[in-house]
Copies of this chain bind each other. A is one copy, B any other.
Amino acid sequence: MNLKELSRALELSQTTVSRALNGYPEVNAETRQRVEEMAAKLGYAPNQQARRLATGRAMSIGHVVPRSLHEMMNPVFMEFIAGAGEAYSQHGYDMIISVVGDQDVEDAYREIASRKKVDAVMVHGPRIGDNRPALLAELGLPFLIHGRIPGLEKTTSWIDVNNGQAFERATNLLLDLGHRRIALLNGLEDMDFAARRRAGFEKAHADRDLPVDPKLLRAADMTEPYGADSALSMLRQKAPPTAFLVSSMITAIGVARAIGLCGLKIGRDISVITHDDALSFLPNSGEVPIFTCTRSSVRHAGSRAAHLLIEKILPDPTTLVSEYLESELIIGQSTGPHQAN
């Protein structure tokens, strides 16, 4: 069932039928209704490929995911995608995801651009000194960054959590509780979000003229064993930390495991604050959440990002938008005052 057949069935021109279905005003109301009914009856829907070609709009948004990035952001990325995907559907956009090797990212973007596969792209996992904005500008591909790139805050569009402030507040909470040896289990620090979190952590210390022990700082892919192994080795050193600030629930779960292995009790002997992306399969809610956390729904971020991209940037790609996402500091069961054993 295509437009030609439909218009023949209606004894109307393709022009009129097309216009009727696309809501143009120069169509008699009665005619429009007749067209809509017939279209529904015959199950007509415009061929997407033809429409794309005719309009010049791909009606889809691209996500290029390098394997390595995705390796560590896996669940976070998925949740973001879920949020974005819903928003895309609402706007009639398709989401196309390219999983490519790390070296092939640039090629992937070039291919996407030259073949006109998408109208815009979402940039994930911005790094310090990231060159994707330059590349995308050269290719003429509108984009929105989930996160920020230092130095490009004013010249690119982005949506981000205030990571620095969130971790500063979390650190202050621990300091207020009397903790003085706080470990930071961060993500890889060439990622912008991780660098900002570390900065917040350090600022909180600096504001009180407290030192930061480099031995208590780690940065790695945020896996469960990373949390467990790091916590284990730190807790066994001569001057162990009394609190942990962790960049991911998954890693925090590892920390909790290590604390248990050491025969200590989380929240009483050792305090833990984690960032909680509100992943659906790792709920940390309830009356009193298991983990004290800085929480910000990454799914909501995906949804907002998609809306901004479609509603603001696509209509006029020169528009610059930037938006901060809420992040709450929520007290759970994993924090308590420093034990002056």
Contact = CB atoms under 8 A, between A and B. Distances in A.
A27 interface: no
A96 B49 CA distance: 14
Interface string A208-243: 000000000000011111000000000000000000
The 9 A-B pairs of least Cβ separation, nearest first, read: A85-B99, A260-B260, A78-B78, A45-B114, A49-B52, A48-B115, A49-B53, A74-B281, A75-B75
Given A75-B78, A75-B281, A117-B48, A97 B95 contact: yes
A341 interface: no
A283 interface: yes
A98 B116 contact: no
Interface string A70-94: 1110110111011001101100001
Given A77-B78, A281-B72, A282-B224, A58 B49 contact: yes
Contacts of A45: 111, 114-115
Interface of A: 1, 43-50, 52-53, 58, 60, 65, 67, 70-72, 74-75, 77-79, 81-82, 85-86, 88-89, 94-100, 108, 111, 114-117, 221-225, 250, 253, 256-257, 260-261, 279-283, 286, 290
25 contacts: A1-B114, A43-B114, A47-B116, A48-B116, A48-B117, A49-B52, A49-B53, A50-B53, A74-B78, A74-B279, A77-B78, A81-B99, A82-B99, A85-B98, A89-B108, A94-B96, A94-B117, A95-B99, A97-B97, A223-B280, A223-B282, A223-B283, A224-B282, A257-B257, A260-B261
Contacts of A82: 65, 67, 70, 74, 99
A291 to B, nearest CB: 11
A70 B279 CA distance: 12
B281 A222 contact: yes
A256 B260 CA distance: 10
A281 B72 CA distance: 6
Contacts of A261: 260
A57 to B, nearest CB: 9
A1 B286 CA distance: 57
Nearest to A104: B89
Q: Which of A50, A65, A99, A290 has the most CB of B within 10 A?
A: A99
B100 A281 contact: no
A95 B94 CA distance: 10
Nearest to A279: B74
A170 to B, nearest CB: 21
Nearest to A261: B260
A72 B279 CA distance: 10
B282 A250 contact: yes
B94 A99 contact: no
A260 to B, nearest CB: 4
Contacts of A67: 82, 86
A257 B290 CA distance: 11
A279 B50 CA distance: 40
B250 A46 contact: no
A280 B71 CA distance: 6
